[in-house]
Amino acid sequence: MGYHKIRGGYYYMRMNKIIMVIIAAVLTAATFTACGKTEFGVTESTEKTMTITAENADKDAMFIADSLEAEDGDEIRIAASLEKGLVRVEIIADQEESIDELPEMDGEVIISADLSNNEAVSGKVPAGSYMVKATCLEKATGTVQIEVKD
């Protein structure tokens, strides 16, 4: 009762069941970990373009990047290609500061847009350097392309 005879030895059958449950739990956890990958950030960037990639990005995930340059009369276009979610993108005038100091985030927001699906916005900007602040307002998957055009 409770024991099982295998090849001359006695094994406790409940131990075999417990080991099987542990193995199943470990395999399940490994599967969920692989599927649960999250990413939110810049994947490509030049002075004129930036690609933001979101892969299961959590709500309130946020980053700031400093790299866009515009000439007089240029336009900044922001286009989303999101499978799900909502992302806020803010284009902020960069305050000229020393490279040794952290950038101030109190620059003027030139363009602000909450984007989902295949929405796009654009606006003319004065010549200068711009920071990009992106925030997930809802869990998001997809890309947002930002481009400076004449």
Check whether 141 has a pLDDT greater than 60: yes
Q: What are phi and psi of 8, to 5 degrees?
A: 85, -5
The pLDDT of residue 8 is above 70: no
For the chain, what is the mean pLDDT? 82
At 62-88, the pLDDT tens digits run 999 988 999 999 999 999 999 999 999
Q: For 87-102, what is each residue's pLDDT tens digit?
A: 999 999 987 654 455 5
Per-residue model confidence (pLDDT) at position 107:
76
Residue type for position 72:
D
What is residue 33's predicted lDDT score, i.e. its pLDDT?
Answer: 46
Question: What H or E segment, with its residue span, contains residue 104?
Answer: none
Residue 32 has pLDDT above 60, yes or no: no
In 3D space, the residue among 73, 78, 66 whose CA is nearest the CA of residue 112 turns out to be 78
Q: Contact 51/143 with Cβ under 8 angstroms?
A: yes
pLDDT score, position 21: 54
Domains and CATH numbers, the chain: 3-35 (no CATH), 39-149 (2.60.120.380)
